[in-house]
Amino acid sequence: MATLQEKSDTNLSAALVLTQEQATCLSSVHCSYYSCYQLILYYLDKIFSYNETKRKAEYDNYLKSYTGGGKRLGSHEYWIKQFMSCIAKTGHSGNTFLIDYNIRLLKEARVEADYQEVDFTKKQTDDLYDKARDTIKLINKSIGV
């Protein structure tokens, strides 16, 4: 069974391949985002003592306890925020703002690519791939890898 880290690596590789042809550029956006998100989940599990069951229970508790003050976070936003909090506790938080910014940008592009009638140019998808690759480097650096 592939780990989330292996899936992250696979998605980053797939994003690169998919950026090569205009016909598959749109699909590369999805892979670029998920390469970062899966790595975040991997490190939450490996470094910060989470696992799939604990993550599900914690997010379910968050949903149950949500009182309507502000926008309720979707699961991806919730786990990105939790990861940023965990990084801050390690003392490696120097890149937190950039990681958070990049992942939000990638997620926004992924939502557009997956659910809206838009096209992305090869240049745009190349840039998103580069952003994902750079973000993965920042994530690894932020946890001391």
The DSSP string of 21-66 is SGGGHHHHHHHHHHHHHHHHHHHHHHTS---HHHHHHHHHHHHHH-
Contact present, 34 and 11 (Cβ < 8 Å): yes
% of the chain at pLDDT higher than 70: 98
pLDDT recorded at residue 68:
73
Contact present, 107 and 81 (Cβ < 8 Å): no
> Tokens 């379910």, residue?
60
pLDDT digits (tens, 9 = 90+) for 2-11: 999 999 999 9
Which of these, 120, 102, 108, lies nearest to 19 by C-alpha position? 120
pLDDT recorded at residue 71:
84
pTM over the 0.75 mark: yes
pLDDT digits (tens, 9 = 90+) for 92-128: 667 888 999 999 999 999 999 999 999 999 999 999 9
